Structures are given as C-alpha cells and as structure tokens.
Chain A
Amino acid sequence: MSELMPVLLALTILVGGIALAAIMTWWERRLLGFWQDRLGPNRLGPFGIGQVAADMIKLLFKDDWVPPFADKVVFIFAPTAIVVAMMMGFAVVPFAPDTYIIDVNIGLLFFLGMTSLAVYSVLLGGLASNNKYALLGGLRSAAQMVSYEVFMGLSLMGIVMMTGSFSLVDIVEAQRDVWFCFSQVLGLLVFVVAGIAESHRLPFDLPEAEHELTAGFHTEYGGMKFAMFMLGEYLGLILISCMITTLFLGGWFGPMFIGDWLPPFVWFGLKVFFVICFFVLLRAAIPRPRYDQLMSLGWKVMLPITLVNLLVTGAVLLWMEGA
C-alpha cells in the first residue's frame, strides 16, 4: 500500500492540481469582483463556478494557430515547460505527515530548481513569438526572474540553518512548536515578494504588463497554448502558496494555542487557501512598479534584507549553541 501511495498521490496532484488551477481562475475573479464592488462571474452553475467549464470549452475549441513568423517548435514547447516545471515542484510538498510523493534531502533545492526552469517557458515563449512586445516581455522576465531567484534562494537559507536540513518534511517537523514566520520574519517577507515576482503576477507582472506590452510574452498565443501559460501561472501561484505554508506557516500543524483538532491535511489546505487569497488581494490593491524600479528594489532592498537575515540567524544560532 505504502509503495502505491506516491503513485496515487502523483495522479491526484496531476488531476487535482489542474482542476484546482482551473477553479482558481473562477475564485480569483469572484474575489476580485468582491473587492472591486462588482459581482464577477456568477451566471453559470452555483455561484458561477460553471464558468470554469465554459472557459475550458471555449479555449479547447479555439483555433490552434501558430504565427507563420514564429519559431514553430519552440513556440509550441514553451507553454508546456511552465506546466511541467510547476507540476514537478509539487513532488516535494508535504501535504500532511506521510502524504508526499517524495521526501528527498534536497527537497528545497529541488523546488527552487523547478521554479527556475519555469523561466525558460516565459523566455522562450517571448523569443519564439518573433513579436516585439513578446520580445520585450521575454527580456523583462529573464532579468526579473534571474534576480529574484537569488533572493528567493537566500531568503530560505535561514530556515535551512535553523533546521539543519533541506528536506521539507524536516522543515515542517521543526515548526511543531514555533512557526518560522515568527523567527524568520525577514525571510518570509523576501520570499513572498520573490514568490510574486517568480509567478509574475500583478504587481510584478512586468513580463506581461498588459498596459505597456499589450500581453507581453504571450501576445501571440491563443487557444490551449495560451491556456497552458495561464495554467502554469495558477499552478505556480498554488505552489508558492504551498511552499509559504510549508516553510513559514507550520505546514500541516494547527496554529498555536488552537491546537490540532482538524486533520493535518485540512490545516494545510486552509493555510494555502489563506495565502492564495492574500495574493489575490495584492493583485487587486497594488500598482505595478517600473522595470528598473523592480530591479533596484531587488538588489538594493531585498538582497541586503536577506543578508542581514542570514547574519542575524547565524549569530543567534551560534550564541544559542554557545549557551
């Protein structure tokens, strides 16, 4: 049974992840509607959830068009890369005790590696389109993701130092008493910002930047290939939310003083849901910085913060060891 478990879980994640990402499109619109004094999609099915099916049917029946001026192979490959990379990222996420596909001692690095791979999707999509807006979008994404990956990795090193392990299961276990969101506040801050930048959502959706680059890197995309980009984006959003939960919000543990009176998986789900809603709120509330401002925010603010965080964490750990 336990040998079958990862396989079953993998299938569940594959199907469930895609379904969840699809539902996210609806949930995000409803939530945005709520915050923007309007209704959002509410016509089809209960609370308008049928909109998900309607959108999928629409996208499936769209003309599967490849622009004659595009690099055909890369153009088709690009949107799949982001979905594959994001799905792979879920392999190391521990949803509950013993409910994970794989627990490797480099779990954290694996996650970081997979999110880095997703950059190729945006970059290649932008380059292969042979469109100026797409090119600008691709360029922006390359610069943005490469820089923010640095802080994303560094912001987690404090946790690794405190846990002494790269395994995500170990990291969750280490939060049995105190969640890392308290001891690693700066880490959390940087990770959240880098997470938005990595999943290129508003306010950091510069590769897409509707108002500047029409649709940025996916200007030339339509139909299912466009849907794949969207799927990848929402999977990325869910993945980042899962990671924030795992790394900073105590994973499957119930909150302190409230206790573990719900099944671990439900706690995990609730926290992920909370983080996702927070990301949607960010999207609704914050304007987009300029490309160079985003860069200087990264290198001049985020990098020092992470370094200070590392320094302080290290010092405290040494001091505690000494004591």
Chain B
Amino acid sequence: MHTAEAKATNRVEEKLYRKFGRDIFTVQRCADKTLTLWLDRSRLIEVLQFLKPQFPMLYDLFGIDERTRTHRDGQPASDFTVVYHLLSLDRNEDMRIKVAVQESDANLPTAIGVWPNANWYEREVWDMFGVTFAGHPSLFRILLPPTWEGHALRKDHPARATEMGEFEMGSERVAREQEALRFRPEDWGMQQSNNDNEYMFLNLGPNHPSVHGVFRIALQLDGEVIVDSVPDIGYHHRGAEKMAERQTWHTYIPYTDRIDYLGGVMNNFAYVQSVEMLAGIVVPDRARVIRIMLAELFRISSHLVFYGTFVQDIGQMSPVFYMFADRERLFGIIEAITGGRMHPAWFRIGGVAQDLPNGWERLVREFIDSMPARLDHYDKMSMQNKMLKQRTVGIGTYSQQEAIDWGVTGPGLRATGSDWDIRKKRPYGGYDQFEFEVPTANNGDCYDRAQLRIEEMRESLKIIRQCLDNMPEGPYKSDHPSTTPPPKERTMEDIETLIHHFLNVSWGPVIPAGEASVMIEATKGLNSYHLVSDGGTGSYRTRIRTPSFPHLQQIPLISNGLMIPDLIAIIASIDFVMADVDR
C-alpha cells in the first residue's frame, strides 16, 4: 500500500520536474511520507494551476511561523511558510506545496482562481500571520475581531492575557468597537437596492435558534427570497492552535476534545495518531479496537444530535427528544468506560487512558441491540414524513464537482455520489480489519445528507458489534518510551524506569523533530492535525484542519435564490459545530 502510494506520488513529482525543471523545487521529507515540495512564490500560481487537474481539492491552506524554529533540516530560508495541502480523491493521494515568505515582504498571489475555497483559508493566514494575498477580493479578518491588533499565531504575539498589558474599555474604545460593528452592505459586497426596490438586510445570528452556536449570516433579502448571503465566522474562536504551542504533547489532548465538541474522542484520534506517527509509536491491538469502538460510539452520538436538530429545524418538534434520550444512554456507556461524557479526553499517546471496565460488554450490547429498531422507528416518524421531504428534497443541492471545488468532505461529499470515506481509502488505526459499507446518495440535497448520516449510524453499529465480538486481549497502551503516561508497574524496582516515568509525567515526552498529519473520517468530514515538532516537549505549530470550516464557506453557493426556511434546512443539513469552524 505504501509503496504503491509512493510510486503514484512520484509520477506527479516527475511530471512537475519535467514541466518546470528540478531546480525550482526543494523536497522535504515528512514523517507521514506525504510528498512535500518547496518552491519560490514567483512560480506558485503557475504550479498550482498545473496541479489543479491532478489534485482537484484544496484540502487545507495554512501558515507556519518559522522564525524561532531550530530543526529545519535543509528547508529553504523562511519567516513564514504557507502550506497548500492538496488532495486527489480519484487517486487517493495528497501532497503539500510550501512557499516561503520573508517578514519584510510577506506577500503571495491569491489561489482563489485555482480553488475557490482558498478564499477563507487565505483570510485566515492573513489574520493569523499577516501574510497578504495579492488579488484577494476581501482580505479582512475572519477569526479575530476586526479591531484586533497584531497577528495572533506569530510567535511574538502574546498567548496569554497577562502578557498583553492592561485591558481597558474606555469610551474611546467603546466607540471604536461599535463603529467596527456597524453593518454596511457595501463592505459585504451587497447592493442597497436595485432599480425597482430596496433590499432588506437581515443579520441571521450570531444569536439565532437555528445556527447551532454563534454563527452569523448576513442576508440580502427580496421579500423572503435570499438574494445574497455572506457567512461570518469567528465568534467561537478560542485560539486552540495557539494554545497547542504552550501545552505539552500530552496535556493538549483535552483541548482537542473541544474542537468538534460533539465528536468527543474523535478529535483525540486525529491528534494522537499524528503524534504517534512523529514518534513512530505502534499501538497495540486492544488499544486500536478500543479506540475504534469509542470513535464509532461518538459518531453515533454526534449523528443523533444532528438527526434530532435537523428534524427540529424543519419544524418537527418531538423526534429530538427521542434522539437525545438515546444519546443519553450512549453517554451512560461512555461514562462507564471513560468517566467523562462529552469531553472524555481519553485517548493517550500510544494507547488509551485505561482498560475497559468490567461488564462493558453488557452495556454496549444492550445499546447496539436496541438501536436498529429505534432507528427504524425514527425513520418512519421523520424521514418518511411527506412534509419533511417537501422541505428538504431538492433543497441546497450541489454537484460532486462543486463539493470537490469547495473542499467538502464527509457525508456532504458522499451525498453527491462519491464513496470517498477515508476509513476505507486509507484505513487508519485498524479500520481495515472491519467489515462495513460506505453509504452514498446521489442528489446532494438536504434530504440525502440527512439520510446518509442515518445509514452511517447503522454502519457504525455494525463496526461496534465487531469490536464487541472480537475484542483482543493484551495491553491497552504501547510499550514505546514516548507513551504517555508511561507504564508504572516497575517504577519502584529500577531507577531507569523511575527517572523515565518522572520525566515523562512532569515534562511529557520529547517527540522527534518533523512534520506529520493523519486524516481521519471525523463525524463531520475529514479532520487532521498537522503537527510540526521542533524536537521539544510541545508542538511547534499545530494546524487543525476541520471539516466544518469549508462546509460553511460554500453556504452562499447553495442557498442564494432560496427562501429563509430553506436556508435553515441547509444549515441544519450541513451538520457543523462552530467550535469546529472557529477552533
């Protein structure tokens, strides 16, 4: 599998060399073996355009502040590096393009012309690193407030309030902040009126019952018909990526729980796998199966919330209570296993926190035995309801091509006919040992996106049953020296183990310098943590690629021309959480 991948990657590499010459590229070896090429910004757009047919999806785009990094191992000189992570679904292959810019001239050409979803990503890079993108139509802050000073992910930007000087909210500042909040349609690219009538502008959110958190969409309305819509995010930004630079590898795990707060351990999964790849840790079988079981339990939990709120947003009042009752039973199991509910922070580098408790089989079996019948019942109650179909079939439709253009992954992509599930395509963490189907649908509308998630729950139940029937014996964490917390059994018997245990508990493990990211099929789409280690006890740069971010970006594409209730159905069918968008 790995060799085949390497060969395919080489083909693209060779094509690039043949077209542009070998000299403009510098190859970087990453721990995850993804082809990573540096090139000069003068050739950037040219190369990206050449790569577009090979890699139709811009998976991620982010920056790295390299100024204090020590282990750069032959990488070109750079103050800020901008990384383009590209993905090809057909060939199941990805690659990174890295471009260096210097602090004195932090400027790049925009890639919006190549991939439309570069828009928000470039805004984020500007917001966080101060790298400008020439030709970008709306390069203003996206995650931080418009009045923010400085660029938060630069290494010289303070990470804590105590480093920032006293906070004052004097009248002058109040006036400035209020002025910044004033809504001017022109700033959002909207017209006040056409020849016949004036438009109405409606701020849907940040506080609105149906936006699932703090999400704002500025709407330009003609009656109830949406002429234009501009999503505005950042209200839930908590600086998760900045925090990662202050935490040790181990103590960052609980923060990941809160990224997709409905996904629980699913976030840990992406993070610890990247760390393990950097450190070269192989996880024992029992821990692998436990992880998969927990991840699938959380997939069901997240999808149940989706199901309930989706139906409720369509206006059906009751089903959400049934689904939350099921979720509650699920939390009972998760609580028995992990001690936590929504944020168990239970995966560890090299394994999981504890072994499964006695009697876990009975709890899990009861749940997975009762669920299919209940799902059938809900199906009859909601998904087969004619009015619900009227509200959702044919609403918010996008094609597979559009999905790929806008970086849509997960159920949103599979609803357009693709069967791209990374659990099948690149089975991580032991998924290749399980039998399950990847549900797909063809219309790419709200109804299909919902229907697909319900099918996924059934598949997850299948996976959990296989975990239950085939749970291997053995240790629940790896014997590797970087496993955290390290095994304690022999600490009182020899000094080496004691020292090792003491250091790993007090400082945390030292992870070898390098870069890695592992994609996982999270509850809402592809999720990965791009970790840059500088050979320390904490991450040098943590980039969290979340699925919800690009999903929100394409809302205008599918909702313009429809009515407000349709927009609500679309928002409900996307299944996002704002913490996952804003990080």
Contacts and interface: CB of A to CB of B under 8 A. Distances in A.
Interface of A: 32, 35-38, 132-133, 136, 202-203, 205, 209-214, 283-293
B210 A202 contact: no
B58 interface: no
A290 B566 contact: yes
B142 interface: no
Contact of B388 (A210, A287, A291, A292): A287
B202 A132 contact: yes
Given A36-B322, A132-B202, A284-B318, A214 B387 contact: no
B565 interface: yes
A35 B224 CA distance: 34
Contacts of A293: 390-391
A290 B316 contact: no
Contacts of A132: 200, 202
A209 B315 contact: yes
A209 B569 CA distance: 13
A38 B325 CA distance: 9
Q: Name which of A32, A286, A291 has the most chain B CB atoms within 10 A of its CB.
A: A286
A283 B317 CA distance: 7
B210 A211 contact: yes
A288 B315 CA distance: 5
A287 B391 contact: yes
Contacts of A210: 209
Given A209-B565, A287-B316, 18 more contacts: A36-B318, A36-B322, A37-B325, A38-B321, A133-B202, A136-B202, A136-B224, A205-B315, A212-B564, A284-B317, A287-B382, A288-B387, A290-B390, A290-B391, A290-B563, A290-B565, A291-B565, A292-B563
Nearest to A136: B224
Nearest to A289: B387
Q: Please list the 10 inter-chain residue pairs (A to B) with the smallest Cβ-Cβ separation, ordered nearest first.
A: A288-B315, A287-B316, A36-B321, A287-B315, A211-B210, A287-B314, A290-B565, A284-B318, A36-B318, A287-B387
Contacts of B208: 214
A144 to B, nearest CB: 13
A179 to B, nearest CB: 29
B562 to A, nearest CB: 10
B390 A37 contact: no
13 contacts: A35-B318, A36-B317, A37-B322, A202-B315, A203-B387, A205-B315, A210-B209, A212-B564, A285-B318, A286-B387, A287-B385, A289-B390, A293-B390
Contacts of B317: 32, 36, 202, 283-284
Nearest to A132: B202
Contacts of B568: 211-212
Contact of B565 (A35, A133, A212): A212
Contact of A211 (B209, B385, B566): B209
Contacts of A283: 317
* Most chain B Cβ neighbours within 10 Å, of A32, A37, A202, A283: A37
A210 B314 CA distance: 10
Interface string B531-575: 000000000000000000000000000000001111010000000
Given A136-B224, A212-B210, A287 B563 contact: no
A213 B556 CA distance: 19
Most interface-central of A133, A213, A284, A293 (chain B CB within 10 A): A213
A205 to B, nearest CB: 8
Contacts of A285: 316, 318
B439 to A, nearest CB: 23
A262 B325 CA distance: 42
Interface in B30-89: none
Contacts of A209: 315, 565
Contacts of A291: 224, 563, 565
B312 interface: yes
B311 interface: yes
B257 interface: no
B313 interface: yes
A273 to B, nearest CB: 21
Nearest to A285: B318
Nearest to B381: A285
Contacts of A212: 210, 564-565, 568
Nearest to B322: A37
Contacts of A133: 202
Given A136-B224, A211-B209, A289 B564 contact: no
Interface string B485-514: 000000000000000000000000000000
Nearest to B387: A287
Interface string B370-405: 000000000000100101101100000000000000
Contacts of B316: 285-288
A284 B311 CA distance: 12
Contacts of B313: 211
Contacts of A292: 563
A203 B315 contact: yes
Nearest to B562: A290
Nearest to B389: A287
Nearest to B211: A211
A290 B436 CA distance: 37
Contacts of B202: 132-133, 136
A289 B314 CA distance: 8
A290 B570 CA distance: 13
Nearest to B572: A211
A133 B224 CA distance: 11
